[in-house]
């Protein structure tokens, strides 16, 4: 069962400038940064609030580390902006299979490692009314 909005992913050309905008404009601070080599991104997670299920909600700012990454291709085509929405779940495996059973294409056969050691998968945007959708099971150590 999906429990919350885990994060909104925002693609950007310059991570440092974008972080500074969100810090100066809204007062959001960076909670975590990392480079995900598999996905070809440098990212910053800006914590917005805690949630009742023990998780949190974030803005995830994504700068491609290479042009051929999914985010790099998306930026070249669309420019900066909202890239995806992610919903939190205690069971990314079970929920992705249940959603697949409803005819929605799940992009990964097995969940992959995401930000802060989470387990993630994506749902095809053409099956989700044009919205790239991510399912996330948070790492309890974060």
Q: Is 80 a catalytic residue?
A: no
Rounded Cα gap, residues 80 and 129, in angstroms = 20
Q: Is 7 a catalytic residue?
A: yes
The catalytic position among 7, 39, 63, 83 is 7
Q: Is 34 a catalytic residue?
A: no
Q: Is 63 a catalytic residue?
A: no
The catalytic position among 39, 60, 63, 83 is 60
The catalytic position among 34, 63, 84, 110 is 84
Q: Is 60 a catalytic residue?
A: yes
The catalytic position among 37, 67, 134, 142 is 134
- Collect all residues with Cβ–Cβ distance below 8 Å to 93 and sequence separation of at least 6: 111, 119
Determine the 3-state secondary structure of 26 from DSSP: helix
The catalytic position among 39, 43, 63, 83 is 43
Sign of the torsion formed by the C-alpha atoms of 71, 74, 75 and 81: negative
Enzyme catalytic residues: 7, 43, 60, 84, 134
């Amino acid at each position: 069962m999906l429990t919350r909005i885990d994060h909104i992913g925002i693609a950007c050309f310059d991570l440092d400038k974008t972080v500074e905008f969100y810090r100066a404009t809204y007062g959001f601070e960076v909670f975590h940064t990392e480079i995900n080599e598999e996905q070809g991104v440098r990212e910053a997670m800006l914590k917005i609030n805690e949630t009742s299920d023990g998780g949190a909600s974030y803005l995830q700012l994504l700068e491609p580390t290479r042009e051929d990454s999914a985010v790099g291709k998306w930026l070249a085509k669309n420019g900066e902006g909202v890239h995806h929405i992610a919903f939190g779940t205690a069971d990314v495996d079970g929920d992705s299979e249940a959603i697949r059973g409803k005819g929605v294409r799940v992009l990964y056969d097995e969940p992959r490692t995401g930000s802060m050691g989470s387990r993630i998968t994506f749902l095809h945007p053409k099956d989700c009314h044009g919205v790239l959708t991510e399912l996330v099971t948070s790492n309890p150590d974060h």
